[in-house]
Structure 1
Amino acid sequence: MRIAVVGLGVMGLPMSLNLVKAGFDVVGFTRTADRGRPLVEGGGVLAASLGEAVSGADVVVTVLPDSPDAQAVYAEVFQAAAAGTVLVDMSTIRPDVARELHERAAEVSMPMLDAPVSGGEAGAKEGKLSIMVGGAADTLERARPVLEAMGTTIVLVGGPGSGQTVKAANQLLVAGTLQLVSEALVFLETHGVDLAPAVDVLGGGLAGSTVLARKGAAMLAGEFAPGFRVDLHHKDLEIYRAAAKANGVFSPAGALVGELMASLRATGSGGLDHSALLAQVAALSGLEKWSA
């Protein structure tokens, strides 16, 4: 099976390499050619153009930054790919845009899934992503072997756009948890508690979370190299807030964490990992520790 992967960034590259390891014929495309070199070194092929990548592909996987990127890419995919090609958009985009893309895909007889992921860079490298899928059940079954090469939790959550809706909720939960973890760590630091064992015992109880398990050690060390950038999480929270407002959802915590992420971005930390919320809490609490 030939798989075209469009978008070879922090997530797309390790996802494409896992597809190669699973035995698929992988052709990648990225507008920044240097990003594709590891795919070639890992046994994949780098296409010179988007059209070349998707022409002849059985499945097209896209991992793109934002809704306009997805709209632009799929405008070309709908022209260059053959009818019957399975389209799997694993970007995080607006649910309404996902539904629009499903409609356009149906017009050219290309079955489509919106299948955003959670698990961050580590999950992408390990092939242990959680994949929330919107679309038809039979399309998911056609794409399942591809998705299983990249993730361990693959769940159909509803029709077109449902995957993106669940992803928006996921991003709210992750951002809110990061903010609370940040506040808890600053609280413990100001009281002179030994942080490492404190995080261990918190992680073993009801306060434990995947966020704490995956991000805790780096946060304690003040390491904010991007696994998932503040810029992208800010974008995702804007998606959540717009979708919540459209349905009249009362979400005060969502508004608050959205503003906190926006403020972190506005002060020059957009390229850092979203766990840099800790640096913002520390700075506002008068601590020099964890300065980003």
Structure 2
Amino acid sequence: MAEKMRVGFIGLGIMGRSMARNLYQAGFPITVWNRTASRMEAAQEWGAKRAESPQEVAQTSDVVITIVGDTPDVEEVVTGPKGVLAGAREGLVLVDMSTISSDATRKLAEQAKRKGVRMLDAPVSGGDVGAREGTLSIMIGGEAEDLERVQPLFEAMGKNIVHCGPVGAGQTVKACNQIMCGLNLLGMVEALSFAKKSGVDLEKMIQVTTQGAAGSWALSNLAPRVVKGDLEPGFSVLFQQKDLRIVLQEAERLELPLIGTATVNQLLRSVQAHGGNEDGTHSLIRVLEQLGNVDIVPTDGK
């Protein structure tokens, strides 16, 4: 049955385009929709079918996956006049792999349920590299029986697939992930700044520290990009800030102080103030350069 499952895929950004292609290469028929038409044309070249609306995607699919920018985007493609629910039949499974708030997820799941549609929230971590290589971490909220049905799809996109609890639990765990990503990012750029101002070779510092207790995804994957002057996004400042906004709003509701997360949010706001919305999150290094009066990114870099 799994090999005949018809998959609809909505959202062909940096992550989504690779995830959709991995599903197609795993043998699943794919119908895609994206607000920017050129990305659908690129998907057609490798074998995807093109739909004219999210509604049409749902009409031709057994499972619909969404991975779009923010809560309003998810709401539009799911509940809008030509959204997924407008074209869904009873029994369709909706898998939202965007990063939005757990509260918004639960509300969407209730709307879907009234249409006879099952919903899983399944945000991901691993960046553009994980999306391309099919090694994403996938954090899932929803019913176990729905997860079992679509498990083969997750296995085509990721390696660390974890059922975190009921609907919304995946988004809560993703928020935890983004807290740690932000703080690891700050630690990485501060270490680079300290090493550079102390006159230590940056590549040697990275080589040693990645293998010890200080090791992190940011240190292994983003620090080498900084040293090469590559600030292109695997994950953009704009979307990181969206995620941290979700975290901090939820922390306010919980009356929970998140001092480090708030600091990262404010430092990234400085990146935004200098026009860095579309740069990779590791462009946080620019703020440390300014604060410490130290040149880290090569002058011929971006």
Q: TM-score range by the shorter chain?
A: over 0.9
Cα deviations by residue, 1:187-209 (Å, 9 ceiling, x for unpaired): 00011101111101100100011
Asked if structure 1 preserves the Cα contact closer than 8 Å seen for 2:57 and 2:84, the reply is: no
Of 10, 20, 35 in structure 2, the residue corresponding to residue 16 of structure 1 is 20
Taking only aligned residues, the RMSD between alpha carbons, in angstroms, comes to 1.1
The one of 255, 264, 271 equivalent to 1:248 is 255
Distance in 2 separating the partners of 1:204 and 1:236 = 29
1:127 to 129, 134, 140: 134
1:67 and 2:100 equivalent?
no
Provide the C-alpha distance between the structure 2 equivalents of 1:43 and 1:186, rounded to a whole number of angstroms: 46
Structure 1 residue 114: Cα displacement: 0.4
Alignment-mate amino acid for residue 63 of structure 1: I
- 1:239 maps onto 2:243 in alignment: no
Mean CA deviation greater in 222-231 or 35-44: 35-44
Encode CA deviations 1:196-237: one digit per residue, 9 max, x unaligned.
Answer: 111011001000112211212101112101111100000100
Residue 268 of structure 1 corresponds to: 275
For the pair 1:4 / 2:11, whether they are aligned, the reply is no
SS at match of 1:149: helix
Question: What letter corresponds to residue 165 of structure 2 in structure 1?
Answer: G
Mapped to 2, the partners of 1:89 and 1:72 lie a distance apart of 13
Query: What corresponds to 2:39 in structure 1?
Result: 35
**Per the alignment, in what secondary structure is the counterpart of residue 73 of structure 1?**
helix
Aligned partner of 2:217 in structure 1 is 210
**1:1-292 matches, cutoff 5 A:** 1-75=5-79, 76-290=83-297
Verify the 8 A CA contact 1:230 1:265 in the aligned structure 2.
Answer: yes
CA contact (8 A) 2:58 2:85 kept: no
User: How far apart are the structure 2 equivalents of 1:213 and 1:88?
Assistant: 30
1-side partners of 2:224 and 2:41: how far apart? 30
Quote the Cα distance in structure 1 between the aligned partners of 2:192 and 2:98. Answer: 32
Unmatched runs of 5 consecutive residues or more in structure 1: none
Q: Which amino acid aligns with 2:229?
A: G
Residue 7 of structure 1 aligns with an amino acid whose one-letter code is G
Q: Residue 134 of structure 1: CA displacement?
A: 0.6
Number of paired residues?
A: 292
Preserved CA contact (<8 Å) 2:95 2:120: yes
User: Percent of aligned pairs with the same residue?
Assistant: 41
Runs of at least 4 residues off by over 4 Å: none
Counterpart-to-counterpart distance in 1, 2:186 and 2:10? 32
One-letter code of the match for 1:16?
A
Maintained 8 Å contact 1:56/1:82:
no
Cα pair 2:119 2:142 within 8 Å, conserved: yes
Q: How high is the TM-score relative to the length of structure 2?
A: 0.94
The Cα shift of 1:255 comes to: 1.3
8 Å CA contact retained: 1:13, 1:36? no
**Matched residue type, 1:82:** R
Give TM-score, length-normalised by structure 1.
0.97
What are the Cα deviations for residues 1-39 of structure 1, in whole angstroms up to 9, with x where unaligned?
A: 110000111111000000000000000001111112221
Q: CA deviation at 1:288?
A: 3.5
Range with greater deviation from structure 2 (81-90 or 42-51): 42-51
1:56 CA displacement: 2.5
Between 1:7-16 and 1:210-219, the stretch displaced more is 210-219
- On the 8 A contact 1:132/1:163 being kept in 2, the answer is yes
